[in-house]
Structure 1
Amino acid sequence: MNYAESLHYLEELNTFGVRLGLARMEELCARLGNPERAYAVIHIAGTNGKGSVTQMMDAVFHAAGIRSGRYLSPHLISYTERMSVDGHDIPEARFAELLTRVRSAADEMVAAGHEHPTQFEALTALAFLYFAEEQVEVAVIETGLGGLLDSTNVVEPILTIITNVAMDHADRCGGTLAGIAEHKAGIIKEGVPVITAATGEPLEIIERRAEELGADVFVCGEDFSAQLFFPNGGGQRVAFHSVVCREPEPFELALAGVYQAENAALVIMAAKLLEREDARVTEKAVRVALRSVRHPARFEILSYEGVPVVVDGAHNPAGMRALRAGLDRYFTDAPRVFLLGILKDKDIDGMLAALLRTGDQVVTVRPNSERAAAADVVAGIAAGMGLDTRACGDAETALSEAAARARAGNALLVAAGSLYLVGGIRALLTAGR
C-alpha cells in the first residue's frame, strides 16, 4: 500500500470499532515476531496528563542520548504523529510499508479463524514494529483507553506511570471511579516500579494491586511533590521535593499550564529511578528536556490575527478544571471567548460547569468524529447557563466567529473540548507559518 491506500485501509478498520481485550493483539504481535519485546518500555496510563508525560519522558531520553521511540494517541492531523523515533515522526512511506505488513498478518489471522484486529490494534502493532526495526533502546508507550484491556498492555515495562484517575470512558471501564482505577492499575506488572499522582480511592486500588504484584509505588503528594512558581525574570519553574532522593534546584518548564507541574514531578521521579540503572539519565538531561519539550494543543499559547489564543485538548470535567485553573493563573483578568466542540459520550454539563464563568462567550462546532455532539446541543447547554452563544456549521466559520468576538472584546480565545476539534483548529491557526 502507499500512504493514501493505508489511510483508506485504516478507515475500513473503523468498522470494527473499539473492542477491548488482548487476545487479538497478542496473536497479531506473535505473527509479527513480537517486536514489542525488542526494547525496554515505559508504560504510561491515566485519565489526564499521560500525553504530556509521554512527551516529557521521550524528551528526557533524547536529551540523554538514548535512542527512543514514542507512541501516543489520538493524533491532531496525521496518523504519523502517533509514533516517532528520536523526536521525528514516522515518514508516510515507512508508515504505509509497515502497515502493509501488519495488514498481511491480520489477514492471516482471519484466515486462521481469529477475529480481525481493530484500527487501534493495527496502529499499535505498527508502532511496535517500527521501534524494533529502528533499533530503539527504549519506547515510551501511552495507553489508548483504560489500561487492563488496552492494546498496549502486551508490553513488559521496566517502569509504569499512572498519572491520575478521574471519570472518563466510564462506559468501557466499569462505570465507576473505582472501575476506572482498576483498569488503570491493570498495567502494573510484577516487580515493576509504579509512579502515580492518583489520590483517594483510586490510589488505594493502585497500591493494593502493586502490593499483590510486589511492585514498589512512589506517590506524588507523599513520596515526592512539585510546586510551580514564576520568577521575576519571566518564565516558569518547577521546584521538586522528595523524601526518597536528593532535592535538586528548580527546573525550567516549557509547557504552560498549572497541571504541568505535577506531570513534570512524575517525570523527574521517573528519571531518578531510571538513573539507578542507566547513568546516562542525568539531572542535566532532565533539565534540557523540561525546558525544551513541546506538546501541541496542551495549553498551547498562540496568536491569530492579533488575537491571543490558547489551544487545549481538555475533554472531560477534570481536564476542564485544569484548563480553567491555567486560564485563571495565566490570563487572570482577560475576557474569554470559547470555541468548543465535545463528543456526545462525554459529561458535557459537567465540562461546561467546570470551565465557564459568567460573562464568557461560547462558539460551538461539531468535532471531526462520529462520536461528536451536535454544535447546537453544546450551545444549548451553554445558553442555559446564561451565556452568549452561537453554534456554527464548520470549523472555519466557527474560528472566524470566535476570533471576531475576541477581537471586538479585547478577549482571549480558547479552543477546547476534544482533540478531534483542536487538531483542526490548530491547523487553521498555524496555516502559512
Structure 2
Amino acid sequence: MIASRKDWVNMFNTIKEAVNWIERQVKFKPKTDLTRMHLATKLLGNPEKDYQIIHVGGTNGKGSVCSYLSSVLVKHKKVGTYTSPYIIKFNERIKIDLEMITDEELLTEINEIYEFNERYFELYEERLSFFELVTLIAFKYFSKKKVEVVVLEVGIGGLLDATNVVQADLAIITTIGLDHIEQLGNTLESIAKNKLGIVKDNTPLITSADKSLYPQFKAHCDAVKVPLYMIDSEEIEVVSNNPLRFYHDGTIFETPLLGLHQAINATVAITAIEYLYPEIPQSDIADGIKHTQWPGRFEVMNNDPLIILDGAHNENGITALVDSLRAYYPNRKKHILFCAMADKDTKIMLKLVSSIADSVYVTHFDYKRVLDLDQLLDQTPHTNKKAFVNPIEAIEEMVATFKEDVIVITGSLYFVSFVRPYLLEKK
C-alpha cells in the first residue's frame, strides 16, 4: 500500500507541475505480458476489484459508447468513467457521475502515484509508464470514492493493455480497423485477436464489429465459454439524421451526437445496459442516450459559417466522417482542415477527405508526433490544396473565404483538442 501522507512530502505543489510530470513519463513500455500491472495493482490492494466493470475496446467508437453508458447509468448507479485521450483538460480521463476529477483531487492522486512509482522502482528496479500510472490512479480513485460500476476504456488493443488486469462483468468491442498496426498487426484478424484479449472467463461480449469477423469472435467466445452478442449495423434503421433518431426493438431513440455511426454506437450501449441491468427502465435509457455529451466528435462549433470538429484519426474514422458529411450536407461545398500524427495512415485518410472536399488545407501544431507539413501536403491528392504553418491562421482564412460552405477540422484528437478552445472563444 501507499504510505500515509505524513510519511512523505508532496513532490508537486500545483496541478500544472503534477500533470507536466506525468505527461513526461514514457507513454508505453514494451511488454509481452501484464506482469508490471499485476504487481502494481496487488501492491495497491487490488482496488480494481471493488466495483463492477464494463470494459470497452475497439478501433473507433469506444469513447462515444463509454459516454452513452455513463450517461444512462448515472441515473441508477454511482459510476466511474475512464477514457483517453482528453479534449479539454487532463481531468477528463477520470470522471465520477459525469464530473471530472477536480484539480485538487488529481494533484493528490498524482503525488501519491509518484511516491508509489518510486517504491515500485525500489522493489522491481523499473518504473511504470504513463498509461500504467494514469490507469492505476483511476483504479485507486474509483475505489476511494466507492463507485458501483466503472466504464473502462481500453487504451490500445486489449490483450496487453494496462486496463486488461481487470475481470470485467461485460466486454464491448466496437469496430475493428487498421490502426496502431505496429503494435497490433497489419490485418483485421490480428487486430481482432489482440482486442479479443479483454474477453475472458465470465466476461460476455457485445460487439458491432464487421460480420466478416464473426467466426473469429465466435471461436474465441466459445473457447472461454461466454455468450456473444453481435450487432449488425445494417439492421439499424435510421429515422432522421439531424437530430439523429433510430429504431431499437421497436422504439425510437434519439442522440445529440451527430454522424450516422452514432446510431451503431448508441445501439451497442443500449444493448449493454439491457443485458447487464435489465431493471433499468427503457425510458431512463432513452433519456440518458438523448442527453449524452461527447465533445470533438462531429461537433458543430459554429453555424455561420458551419464549422464541424471531428477527431477521426484513422481510415475507419475518416470513412465514417465522409459518409456522414455526404448524408448531412449533400448539396453544400466542403472544405477540410487536416492535421494528423506521423504514425497514422495519412495517405488513405487524405485520399478519403479529398474525395468529398472542394479544398483541402493541411497544417501542424507543436506536438512531437505530428507529421511534417511538407509530407502532409505531398500526400494530399486534391488539386485545390494549401499548407499553413499556423492552424489558427488557416481557420481564419477559411472562415473569411467559405462563408456559405461547410468547414471540417479533422485528422487527430490531439489536433481537435488544440484548436477547440480557440473555436469556443469565437462562438
TM-score bracket relative to the smaller structure: over 0.9
Shift, 1:429, TM fit: 0.4
Shift, 1:12, TM fit: 2.9
Shift, 1:11, TM fit: 3.2
Aligned to 1:389: 385
Amino acid at match of 2:252: P
* Deviates further, 202-211 or 98-107: 202-211
Which of 368, 372, 375 does residue 374 from structure 1 map onto? 372
CA–CA distance in structure 2, aligned partners of residues 186 and 369 of structure 1:
31
Unaligned regions of 5+ residues in structure 1, if any? 241-246
2:189 touches 2:213 (CA, 8 Å); kept in 1?
A: yes
Aligned to 1:341: 339
CA–CA distance in structure 1, aligned partners of residues 96 and 331 of structure 2:
41
Structure 2 CA distance for partners of 1:368 and 1:60, relative to 1, 3 Å: farther
Aligned to 1:38: 50
CA–CA distance in structure 2, aligned partners of residues 358 and 429 of structure 1:
23
CA–CA distance in structure 1, aligned partners of residues 29 and 332 of structure 2:
41
Q: Does 1:268 align with 2:270?
A: yes
Q: Does 1:424 align with 2:422?
A: no
Structure 2 CA distance for partners of 1:205 and 1:114, relative to 1, 3 Å: farther
Question: Hey, which bits of structure 1, 4+ residues long, moved more than 4 A?
Answer: none
For the residue of structure 2 that corresponds to 1:161, the secondary structure is strand
The aligned runs of 1:205-244 (5 Å cut-off) are: 205-221=216-232, 225-230=235-240, 235-240=243-248
Shift, 1:31, TM fit: 1.9
Aligned to 2:257: 255
Shift, 1:356, TM fit: 2.1
2:52 touches 2:148 (CA, 8 Å); kept in 1?
A: yes
Aligned to 1:406: 402
The aligned runs of 1:33-432 (5 Å cut-off) are: 33-63=45-75, 65-221=76-232, 225-230=235-240, 235-240=243-248, 247-276=249-278, 279=279, 281-303=280-302, 306-357=304-355, 360-382=358-380, 385-407=381-403, 410-431=404-425
CA–CA distance in structure 2, aligned partners of residues 195 and 291 of structure 1:
21
CA–CA distance in structure 2, aligned partners of residues 329 and 18 of structure 1:
42
CA–CA distance in structure 2, aligned partners of residues 62 and 70 of structure 1:
10
CA–CA distance in structure 2, aligned partners of residues 253 and 359 of structure 1:
27
Structure 2 CA distance for partners of 1:270 and 1:182, relative to 1, 3 Å: same
Amino acid at match of 2:298: F
Structure 2 CA distance for partners of 1:350 and 1:359, relative to 1, 3 Å: closer
User: 1:3-58 CA distances to partner (integer Å, 9 max, x unpaired)?
Assistant: 122122113313x6443442222222222221111100000000010110010001
Unaligned regions of 5+ residues in structure 2, if any? 1-11
CA–CA distance in structure 2, aligned partners of residues 364 and 413 of structure 1:
13
Which of 9, 24, 41 does residue 12 from structure 1 map onto? 24
Shift, 1:338, TM fit: 0.8
State the number of aligned residues.
414
Structure 2 CA distance for partners of 1:327 and 1:432, relative to 1, 3 Å: closer
Aligned to 1:243: none
Which of 15, 33, 41 does residue 3 from structure 1 map onto? 15
User: 1:292-320 CA distances to partner (integer Å, 9 max, x unpaired)?
Assistant: 0011011111207x211111111111111
1:368 touches 1:420 (CA, 8 Å); kept in 2?
A: no
Amino acid at match of 2:244: Q
CA–CA distance in structure 1, aligned partners of residues 119 and 426 of structure 2:
44
Amino acid at match of 1:328: R
Shift, 1:371, TM fit: 1.7
CA–CA distance in structure 1, aligned partners of residues 57 and 356 of structure 2:
35
* Deviates further, 167-176 or 144-153: 167-176
CA–CA distance in structure 2, aligned partners of residues 56 and 389 of structure 1:
37
CA–CA distance in structure 2, aligned partners of residues 404 and 426 of structure 1:
18
Amino acid at match of 2:46: N
CA–CA distance in structure 1, aligned partners of residues 199 and 125 of structure 2:
27
CA–CA distance in structure 2, aligned partners of residues 33 and 301 of structure 1:
44
**TM-score, length basis structure 1:** 0.91
CA–CA distance in structure 1, aligned partners of residues 273 and 124 of structure 2:
44
CA–CA distance in structure 2, aligned partners of residues 386 and 163 of structure 1:
31
Structure 2 CA distance for partners of 1:335 and 1:251, relative to 1, 3 Å: same
CA–CA distance in structure 2, aligned partners of residues 13 and 371 of structure 1:
15
Shift, 1:380, TM fit: 1.9
CA–CA distance in structure 2, aligned partners of residues 141 and 100 of structure 1:
23
Shift, 1:129, TM fit: 1.2
Shift, 1:221, TM fit: 1.5
Shift, 1:197, TM fit: 0.8
CA–CA distance in structure 2, aligned partners of residues 359 and 257 of structure 1:
17
Amino acid at match of 1:147: G
Shift, 1:204, TM fit: 2.4
**How large is the RMSD of aligned CA atoms in angstroms?**
1.8
CA–CA distance in structure 1, aligned partners of residues 256 and 239 of structure 2:
13
1:40 touches 1:139 (CA, 8 Å); kept in 2?
A: yes
Shift, 1:201, TM fit: 4.7
Structure 2 CA distance for partners of 1:395 and 1:193, relative to 1, 3 Å: same
For the residue of structure 2 that corresponds to 1:363, the secondary structure is strand
For the residue of structure 2 that corresponds to 1:13, the secondary structure is coil
Shift, 1:265, TM fit: 1.1
1:342 touches 1:367 (CA, 8 Å); kept in 2?
A: no
For the residue of structure 2 that corresponds to 1:215, the secondary structure is coil
For the residue of structure 2 that corresponds to 1:391, the secondary structure is strand
Shift, 1:175, TM fit: 2.8
CA–CA distance in structure 1, aligned partners of residues 155 and 366 of structure 2:
18
Shift, 1:220, TM fit: 0.7
Shift, 1:367, TM fit: 4.5
